[in-house]
A = this chain, B = another copy of it.
Amino acid sequence: MRKTLLAAALAATCFCAHAAQTTIPQQALDLAAGLRERALADTTAWKVTESLTTEIGPRLAGSEADARAVAWAEAKFRELGFDRVWTEPVTFPKWERRGESAAVLGANAQPLAVTALGGSPGGTVEGEIVRFADLAALEAAPEGSLAGKIAFVDYRMEAARDGSGYGPGGAVRSRGPSAAIRKGAIGFLMRSAGTDSHRVPHTGITHFDDGLQPVPSAALSIPDADQLARLAARGPVKVRLALDCGWDGSYTSQNVIGEITGRSRPEEVVLLGAHLDSWDLGTGAVDDAAGIGITMAAARLLKQMPMRPARSIRVVAYANEEQGLLGGRAYAEAHGADAALHILAAESDFGAGRVYAFNTGAPEHARQATAQIAQALAPLGIEYQPDQGGPGPDIIPLAAKGVTWAWLAQDGSDYFHLHHTADDTLDKIDPQALAQNVAAWAVFAWLAAEAEGDFGSRPRTAEAPKD
Contacts and interface: CB of A to CB of B under 8 A. Distances in A.
A230 B108 contact: no
A65 interface: yes
Contacts of A53: 227
Interface in A30-52: 50
Contacts of A113: 422
Contacts of A234: 54-55
A283 interface: yes
A283 to B, nearest CB: 7
Interface stretch (A18-26, A193-201, A340-348): A193-201
Interface residues of A, number: 37
A54 B227 contact: yes
A139 interface: no
A428 interface: yes
Contacts of A55: 107-108, 231, 234
A110 interface: yes
Copies in the complex: 2
Contact of A54 (B58, B230, B428): B230
A425 interface: yes
A421 B113 CA distance: 13
Interface string A54-86: 111110000011001000000000000000000
A68 B109 CA distance: 10
A422 B199 contact: yes
Contacts of A104: 57
A104 B230 CA distance: 38
A451 interface: no
A423 interface: yes
B227 A283 contact: yes
A425 B220 CA distance: 14
A421 B108 CA distance: 20
B427 A231 contact: no
A426 interface: yes
Interface in A414-439: 421-423, 425-428
A109 B223 CA distance: 30
Contacts of A198: 198, 200, 423
A167 interface: no
Nearest to A417: B198
A230 B109 contact: no
Contact of A65 (B68, B110, B423): B110
A227 B289 CA distance: 15
A126 interface: no
B199 A282 contact: yes
A93 interface: no
Nearest to A111: B58
A439 to B, nearest CB: 26
12 contacts: A53-B227, A54-B108, A54-B227, A54-B234, A55-B231, A58-B110, A197-B427, A197-B428, A200-B200, A223-B427, A227-B283, A227-B425
Given A54-B231, A198-B200, A199-B425, 16 more contacts: A54-B108, A54-B234, A55-B107, A55-B108, A57-B111, A58-B111, A64-B109, A65-B110, A197-B428, A198-B198, A198-B423, A199-B200, A199-B423, A223-B426, A226-B426, A227-B425
